[in-house]
């Protein structure tokens, strides 16, 4: 079923140096009109508490990177960052993570929280060791997956969107700024997203562990947009590169075994 929401047309936007909901600018004055939602929210998205203008801008970002339909058609996603190689079976939420320098491979089920591990060609069987590897895999997965895919999760489960205002990125380019707050998570955290008002592509992000932090834990510029399949991914995060990205509908299933 298609949902509907109010799409705002921005009329007045003032510059904000704030980074938290309680200190953000008031939303711009808007004119409204009801249209079909072209980027349906994922179940669990907090549409009631999200700012209408932030929802509108989030949909502009999603449209610029290819749209939800194109994203949903990607069944398998591969990428490499900082010596970690990921293969993600999105249909079953199974991930293979290879730590290239350590000759270590882990295959874990995100939902069921099960894991298989092989190091230097030898399977790890100890329950205590597997529990440690699972925690480590989860920690790396949470950050490294968001590095690549957070624009597609912008109306995701547990997310509330806030409008911050007009701002500038580090190179003084004008940008719009919204905030993704994962407030329904067991450990709430926030991302600020800056994006180019002409291209609607994200140009910078910042991470806050919670609302009490007035300064971000990190802030990085985005760049290096390229097309993979029918979607755009940014391949640069500050000084780091996301490499060997492959978006596909098929992948050798032997990759998800450790035989």
Indicate whether 31 and 143 sit together in one domain: no
Q: Are residues 132 and 25 in the same domain?
A: no
Q: What is the pLDDT of residue 27?
A: 53
Average pLDDT rounded to a whole number, residues 39-66: 92
Which pLDDT tens digit goes with each residue over 93-152? Answer: 999 999 998 899 999 999 999 999 999 999 999 999 999 999 999 999 999 999 999 999
- pLDDT of residue 75 exceeding 80: yes
Residue 231 belongs to some domain of the structure: yes
17: pLDDT strictly greater than 60: no
The fraction of the chain above a pLDDT of 90, given in percent, is 70
pLDDT at 110: 94
Is there a domain that residue 165 lies in?
Answer: yes
Q: Whats the size of the chain, residue-wise?
A: 259
For residues 166 and 35, the model is more confident at 166
Q: What is the pLDDT of residue 12?
A: 33
Residues 167 and 236 grouped into a single domain: yes
Confidence of residue 47 (pLDDT cuts 50, 70, 90): very high
DSSP state of 134: H
What's the CA gap between 103 and 92, in Å, rounded?
A: 25
Neighbours of 130 (CB within 10 A): 17
Same domain, 159 and 236: yes
221 in the same domain as 190: yes
Q: Tell me, yes or no, whether 136 and 106 share the same domain.
A: yes
Which of the pair, 2 or 159, is modelled with greater confidence?
159
Radius of gyration (Cα) for the chain, nearest Å?
Answer: 19
Q: Does residue 194 belong to any structural domain of this protein?
A: yes
Pairing of strands 94-99, 4-10: unpaired
Structure confidence by residue, pLDDT tens digits, 18-30: 444 444 555 544 3
Evaluate if residue 3 carries a pLDDT over 80: no
> Which residue, 86, 208, 184, 73, is CA-closest to 137?
86
pLDDT at 202 (0 to 100): 96
Q: Say whether both 195 and 159 belong to one domain.
A: yes
Q: What is the pTM of this model?
A: 0.82
pLDDT of res. 38:
63
Name residues whose C-beta falls within 8 Å of residue 200's C-beta, 6 or more positions apart in sequence: 60, 61, 63, 64
d(CA 167, CA 156): 24
CA–CA dist 90, 25 (Å, integer): 37
Q: DSSP secondary-structure letter at 15?
A: B
> What span, in angstroms and rounded, lies between the C-alpha atoms of 92 and 189?
26
Report pLDDT for 172: 67
Q: Which domain holds residue 142?
A: 72-149+251-256
Same domain for 60 and 186, yes or no, is yes
Residue 246 in domain? no
136-192 confidence digits (pLDDT tens): 999 999 999 999 999 999 999 999 999 999 887 767 678 899 999 998 766 678 999
- Cα(113)–Cα(138) distance, integer angstroms: 9
| Cα of 31 vs its chain's centroid, Å | 29
Burial of 43 (0-12, 13-18, 19+ CB in 10 A): exposed
Domain assignment present for residue 195? The answer is yes
Domain count, the chain: 2
Are 61 and 159 part of one and the same domain?
yes
Q: How confident is the model at residue 33 (pLDDT cuts 50, 70, 90)?
A: very low
Query: Parallel, antiparallel, or unpaired: how do β-strands 202-208 and 189-195 relate?
Result: antiparallel
202 and 236 part of one domain? yes
In a domain, 129, yes or no: yes
Instruction: Tell me, yes or no, whether 53 and 24 share the same domain.
Output: yes
**What is the rounded distance in angstroms from the CA atom of residue 63 to the CA atom of residue 152?**
10
What's the whole-number average pLDDT of the chain? 85
Strands (E), 130-255: 159-168, 174-182, 189-195, 202-208, 218-228, 231-237, 240-241, 243-248
Asked if residue 159 and residue 62 are part of one domain, the reply reads yes
């Amino acid at each position: 079923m298609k949902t509907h929401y109010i799409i705002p047309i921005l009329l007045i936007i003032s510059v904000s140096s704030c980074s938290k909901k309680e200190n953000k600018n008031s939303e711009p004055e808007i004119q409204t009109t009801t249209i079909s939602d072209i980027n349906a929210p994922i179940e669990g998205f907090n549409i009631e508490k999200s700012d209408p203008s932030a929802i509108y801008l989030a949909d502009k970002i999603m449209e610029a990177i290819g749209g939800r339909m194109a994203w949903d058609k990607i069944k398998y996603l591969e990428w490499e960052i900082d010596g970690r190689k990921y293969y993600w079976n999105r249909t079953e939420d199974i991930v293979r993570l290879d730590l290239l320098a350590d000759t270590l491979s882990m295959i874990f089920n995100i939902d069921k929280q099960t894991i298989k591990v092989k190091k230097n060609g030898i399977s790890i069987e100890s329950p205590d060791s597997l529990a440690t590897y699972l925690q480590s895999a989860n920690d790396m997965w949470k950050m490294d997956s968001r590095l690549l895919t957070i624009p597609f999760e912008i109306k995701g489960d547990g997310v509330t969107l806030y409008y911050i205002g007009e701002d500038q990125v580090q190179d003084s380019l004008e940008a719009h700024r919204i905030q993704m707050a994962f407030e329904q998570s067991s450990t709430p955290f926030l991302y600020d997203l800056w994006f180019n008002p002409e291209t609607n592509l994200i140009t910078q992000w910042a991470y806050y562990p919670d609302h009490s932090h007035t300064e971000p834990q990190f802030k990085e510029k985005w760049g290096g947009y390229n097309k993979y399949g029918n979607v755009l991914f940014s391949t640069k995060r500050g000084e780091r590169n996301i490499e060997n990205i492959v978006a596909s509908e098929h992948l050798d299933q032997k990759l998800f075994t450790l035989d």
